[in-house]
Amino acid sequence: MENKLIYYIRKWTDITREKEADVYKAFETISVKKKQKLLIPGDTCKYIYFITQGALRSWFVDDKGVEHIYQIRLENGWISDLESFFSQRPSKYYIEALEDSKLLRISYERLEALYIQVPSLERYFRILFQKAYINALERLNSTMWESAVDRYNNMMKENKDIFQRVPLVYIASYLGITPESLSRIRKKRQV
């Protein structure tokens, strides 16, 4: 199998070849063009997406009309609005491709059925959310207590690939600062 999804499930759980096939069959492959939107506010998020190739971002627009990016994801990551997906209620987020991308998607009903058919999947997602939660708390601590410069440096260290592929405006927003500030930080660094 050419994608990493099955690879990760296999890594974290005991799963039979047969069940792997069930999982694989439950996902649909889709291709999206750069700038194509997978979700807009008001719509309910029908799918969660595993990225096999490409890059996507997710953001919301505040009352003043300013965009705030809360996720940037590359291949082998998941993207969705989980709150909308799991509650099956309208989302406040956009999801859009930053590059032409290839995705695996699964719907809410299909996933619920699959949890029952393949209990290892429940374990996989338990571990996935556990890690995601720990990461989110780390990002929270860093946003609350580190300076913009430190956050920039950390991201440079840990997600260098994102800087090569994603416009700085989006990275600035993801870091919680303005593009102007990011520009100044980068200027200082080079000296």
Partner DNA sequence: CTCATTTCTTAACATAGGTCAAGTGTTTGA
Partner DNA sequence: TCAAACACTTGACCTATGTTAAGAAATGAG
Q: Which residues bind DNA (CB under 7 A)?
A: 35, 147-149, 167-169, 176-184, 186-187
Q: Return the residue matching tokens 């995601």.
A: 132
**55-61 and 67-74 strand pairing:** antiparallel
| Secondary structure (DSSP) of 44-59 | B--EEEEEEESEEEEE
Instruction: Give me the sign of the Cα torsion angle 124, 36, 39, 65.
Output: positive
Q: Which residues pair with 48 in a beta bridge?
A: 106
Residue 148 binding result from DNA, its own copies, none, given CB thresholds of 5 to 8 Å by partner type: DNA
Residue closer to DNA, measured from CB, 85 or 174: 174
Instruction: In whole angstroms, give the CA distance from residue 48 to residue 111.
Output: 9
Q: Which does 67 bind (CB under 5 to 8 A by kind): its own copies, DNA, none?
A: none
Question: Does the protein bind its own copies through residue 132 (CB under 8 A)?
Answer: yes
Per-residue mark of binding to its own copies, 66-105 (x: CB under 8 A): --x-x-----------xx--x-------------------
Smaller CB separation from DNA, 18 or 180: 180
* Residue 10 CB contacts under 8 Å (≥ 6 apart), including other chains: 20
One residue of 113, 119, 168, 189 binding its own copies per CB under 8 A: 119
Q: Is 26 in the site for its own copies (CB under 8 A)?
A: no
Sign of the alpha-carbon torsion through 118, 121, 57, 168: negative
Contact positions vs its own copies (CB under 8 A)? 60, 62, 68, 70, 82-83, 86, 115, 119, 122-123, 125-126, 129-130, 132-134, 136-141, 143-145, 176
